[in-house]
Structure 1
Amino acid sequence: MEPEDKKLVTVLTRLYAKTKADVVEWQPSEDANLFAVKFSDYTISLVRMLATPTHAESFNLTIANNDGAVIQEMDSSTARDNGFTDMSDLFYRARRHAVDLDGALDDILKDLDDLSDGKS
């Protein structure tokens, strides 16, 4: 493993842990398969490439500077080869946060409760 890959895997591992702890402010984009988190001088983007008949679903993480220039990227296959096997889970957790899925589910549960209360 190259030293820069090792450091990038360390970033991925820490980002994943903070995402699981729900302290990373993932943001949605116009593309439903792309989520990003902004840091002081850099933005990390995570994109899902949908499965095709010849390729499985995959993910790509990109780090860009404030000018928007991509300075590093890693796909889920390379991440897995370097010991980070949770790119898929990271993406789905980022999406859950970015679209406030928990809030949406709470609203739906409340609406469902209101429906059953009205039938009593």
Structure 2
Amino acid sequence: MSEQLEILEELIGEKMLKVLPPLRAKKEILFDDFLELFIYLEKTKDLLSGQNVISRSLSYKLFYLYFEVSKQFSFIHDSTQILELQQKLFKAVISTLNDNFFIDSTPKEERLK
């Protein structure tokens, strides 16, 4: 695995440790940290583009992140903002795992907003 990918995986892990505890304990969503997480996922997707194999630890982090956030979001009701964040997370995780899943004509800079 490339050094850049290792760094990004570490950053994703650190960001998970920052966003998940407040989400679990207080149902608090750290939107700025989620936005940074999306940037890391986008960079990771770019580095993984065309590769057939990714590390077990990265795939674990991606699946754990998505399912844990989804579970916690299920306890927060009636928010379109949460639904949009959950959909964005789903697309970011799946597109990181599969080059062909998410083809978006929106410029990359716009997707990161």
Tell me whether the two structures share a fold, i.e. TM-score over 0.5.
Answer: no
Return the structure number with greater relative CO, CA threshold 8 A, min gap 6. Answer: 2
Q: Say which structure is richer in strand.
A: 1
TM-score bracket for this pair, using the shorter chain length: 0.3 to 0.5
TM-score for the superposition, normalised by structure 2: 0.40
Q: Say which structure is richer in helix.
A: 2
TM-score for the superposition, normalised by structure 1: 0.38
